[in-house]
A and B are shown apart, each in its own frame.
Chain A
């Protein structure tokens, strides 16, 4: 990926006006899909992503059930209108891979052994895509799982870091992803200090890699606060307001 123009200006500002340590604005609403057992809507920069959880429920087809634990099924899907050029609604190889890494990033946080013979289904629908939709999707899905009341070890928070103009920056946006030097999405369980997703596109020296990993984890911790607040807002909203008034 050869870089044709500077993506960070002389004042240290990025194409969208952020500093290198700044996340895009994030907003999470919990319980937005009435029929689902748990759900969340995340706006992460220009990403608009809906996550809905159904389950634990009976498994169909039955032979997929496991006697000692619950299975987790995960679908990451982009709406045809979510991108600049229309995306075919059929699942692409990219979506198949993201569905897989998304499931694998959420599974370690769930106590699947508590629901033998059942299934939990997670549907992540990208309504509008910006860079970093898998991270935003994972963060929303984890909140939706908590909203569904699934027994969990921790929330999974996800955020990317990367390299732009030879600098390590937090939360790569679409332009930086396409024109920058590297993109490294990370999902992390903040209380357990465990990494559940790690991918890298682009080149990093060992020093840059270490810096990038630290920065992404910092970002995940910031996302974690927002996820926690969103859940608190839904379940203790009035009490929170009362506390603030006092």
Chain B
């Protein structure tokens, strides 16, 4: 059952006041503009055992993602497509408020929203990953672990997933005598578009991009918007117990297009993809 809760991070009243003072002067407490993201650092291919991997640092939020490829049965209703499974976990290392155990609803939402951005954009051309239609297909797992949490895990995790996929090479499987055989050679992952997500929060009447954990503790509402390489929207999730006006939604949508494109450019430069 979903239950309303107080923020897990108690921001002191003075700190909150500082945040308000800064916002009224058009600044944020870390000196950023309202529409400015924190510095984004991406390292590729850090896990040699994985088929592709990436570590993303967005400010102090740190996420690692790894791609592992197997074969298996296709999903029901999607018999002629490879299977893609994106999962996310917030490790107990990430903050003093995380406890080991089954994922709470925030983590479930994180995993599902990140998965939705990748899936709905059709980033990977899954139709190219079928061995025997309806029976055996490639199964691509992208697993993420949040190592350190300082807000906006949605975007940090989503960039990590995208970077790991762009970094990945798939093993070439073949069917020989009704058995799946790994030929030992590698193929490029069939990527058709690069989705990027941008999260914005409303504090009072102000919309801020890329919130820190402190800002999230003071937010009224949150929205995550993913766009694809064509500049189309492919997944949206409004979160937190507050509301937006239509104008604020459009403002966040505009930011998602422009900031998302900037992140996409960074990802392209880093990985050499041209989509």
Q: Kindly identify which residue among B2, B120, B228 contacts A73, using a CB–CB cutoff of 8 Å.
A: B2
- What residues on A are CB-neighbors of B243 within 8 Å? 108, 189, 192, 194-196
Would you call A96 and B234 a contact (CB within 8 A)? Answer: no
Residues of B within 8 A of A201 (CB): 116, 120, 235
Q: Which residues of B contact A192 (CB under 8 A)?
A: 243
Given contacts A100-B109, A189-B243, contact A204 B232 (CB under 8 A): yes
Query: Which residues 227-244 of B have a CB within 8 angstroms of A?
Result: 228, 230-244
Partner of A206, one of B109, B116, B238, B257: B257
**Contact partner of A97 among B4, B109, B121, B257, CB < 8 A?**
B109
Do B228 and A203 touch across chains, with their CB atoms under 8 A apart?
yes
The interface residues of chain B lying within 8 Å CB-to-CB of A112 are 4
Contact of A195 with B244 in the complex, beta carbons under 8 Å: yes
**How many B residues touch A, CB cutoff 8 Å?**
39
Q: What's the minimum C-beta distance from B188 to chain A, rounded to whole angstroms?
A: 22
Within 8 A of B (CB), among A24-45: none
CB distance from A154 to the nearest CB of B (A): 10
Closest-by-CB residue of B relative to A109 is B243
Minimum Cβ distance to chain B for residue A152 (Å): 13
In contact, B239 and A101 (Cβ under 8 angstroms): yes
Which candidate, A64-72, A126-134, A142-150, is the interface stretch facing chain B? A64-72
Report the minimum CB–CB distance from A39 to chain B (whole Å): 17
Which residues in window 111-131 of B have CB below 8 A to A? 111-112, 116, 120-121
B5 at the interface (CB under 8 A from A): yes
Taking CB atoms, residues of chain B closer than 8 Å to A206 are: 231-233, 253, 257
Sample (11) of A-B pairs whose CB atoms are under 8 Å apart = A73-B1, A96-B105, A101-B237, A107-B242, A121-B1, A178-B77, A195-B249, A198-B237, A199-B236, A201-B116, A217-B246
Interface residues of chain B, those whose CB is within 8 Å of chain A, are: 1-6, 77, 105-106, 108-109, 111-112, 116, 120-121, 223, 228, 230-246, 249-250, 253, 257
For the complex of A and B, 7 pairs with smallest distance between CB atoms: A107-B241, A200-B236, A194-B243, A99-B2, A198-B238, A75-B1, A73-B3
Q: Supply 14 further A-B pairs (C-beta < 8 A) apart from A96-B105, A104-B242, A107-B242.
A: A66-B6, A72-B3, A72-B241, A96-B109, A97-B109, A100-B109, A101-B237, A101-B239, A103-B241, A184-B236, A195-B245, A196-B238, A200-B234, A203-B120
